[in-house]
Structure 1
Amino acid sequence: MEKQIIFEQVIDMWNKHIAFNSLLGFTVTKMEEEYAEIKFEWQDKLMGNPVQKILHGGVTASVLDMVGGVVISANMISRINNPDKQKVAEKLGKFCTIDLRTDFLRPGRGESFVATARIIRHGSKVAVARMELHNEKGEHIAFGTGTYMV
């Protein structure tokens, strides 16, 4: 099965069949071997501070973790010889976050947000990604480092 078709199927699963992602409004918009992107819009239910009207820190950490997982998953899938649904499901079934560091740089204000991730290292058992969150003005809200069991 072609890698791009697999990526599209995985994106479809994350966007339509994971209730938590739907609840937060996350949409995976790019999934590549070395880069991933998630977009979402402001919703009052994502507010962590009603006085300042800013994102809840848990939303920020969640989107960083998710986008890191997307880029690591893409890289992991790309390493499978002759990938098929069963091999991909087997690999993704073992995939999990080991450690997540989130650095909050400024309050999460904005109308729309984009989280991006790039691979730092991908070994045989552990992979590391670097993630960033920006608003529609390009303001850097947070960054993170995620370590994942692959």
Structure 2
Amino acid sequence: MTALTQPQALEYVRRLFVDRIPFHQLVGIEFTQLSLTQLQLRLPMRPQLVGNPAQQILHGGVTATLLDVVGGITAFTGVIQSRELWPEEVLARRLKTLGTIDLRVDYLRPGRGTLFVATGTVIRAGNKVAVSRMELHNERGSHIAFGTGTYLVG
């Protein structure tokens, strides 16, 4: 049984979300930071992501997707922090159960910009359920949306 350190467990999670989830690749989500204390995703704007052709703004569903992805991974980082070493089989089993229970998105401004950055923080990480708070900004720092998500983590 292979035991992973916390940094190795984070890399395992990153590879899963980047390499093994086709939807993340389709949308174009990029991981720029992933640590126990900092998580950041980014998404360059493309014509395929426009939700309102007249205004050329990011589709609301893409906004919700970014918040949900960053929220779920953030919630799982709270789980990783709970122990120093993770047997790979245990980590894989816990990741199989990772799912969104509830997601609330507050749209603050139209999604204008060329690059969108999503960040998350853990509000509470329990053994079975975790809660995250997420934010989405554009390249100028304008706050586009924020969200709160509840996730099944074990």
Please, what TM-score do these two structures have when normalized by structure 2? Answer: 0.92
Gapped runs of 5+ residues in structure 2?
none
Report the Cα offset of residue 31 of structure 1.
Answer: 2.2
Tell me, yes or no, if the aligned pair for 1:67 and 1:116 is still in contact at 8 Å: yes
Partner of 1:106 in structure 2?
Answer: 109
Partners in 2 of 1:97 and 1:13 — Cα distance?
A: 17
Alpha-carbon distance between aligned partners in 2 of 1:22 and 1:75, rounded to the nearest angstrom: 24
Match of 2:24 among 21, 24, 29: 21
Kindly report which structure 2 residues correspond to 1:1-150, keeping only aligned pairs within 5 A, or say none. Answer: 1-80=4-83, 82-150=85-153
- Could you give the per-residue CA deviations for residues 36-74 of structure 1, whole angstroms, max 9, x where no partner exists? 211110011111001100011000000000001111111
CA contact (8 A) 1:36 1:68 kept: no
Q: Which moved more, 1:133-142 or 1:120-129?
A: 120-129
Between the aligned partners of 1:83 and 1:9, the Cα distance in structure 2 is 11
Taking only aligned residues, the RMSD between alpha carbons, in angstroms, comes to 1.3
Query: After the TM superposition, which segments of 4 or more aligned residues of structure 1 sit over 6 Å from their partners?
Result: none
Q: Is the 8 A contact 2:5 2:84 kept in 1?
A: no
CA contact (8 A) 1:129 1:146 kept: yes
Q: Percent identity?
A: 46
Is residue 64–residue 131 contact of structure 1 (8 Å, CA) maintained in 2?
yes
Structure 1 Cα separation of the partners of residues 88 and 118 of structure 2:
27
Distance in 2 between the 1:84 and 1:53 partners?
46
Q: Structure 1 regions of 5+ residues with no counterpart?
A: none
- For 1:114 and 1:99, the matched residues in 2 are separated by 22
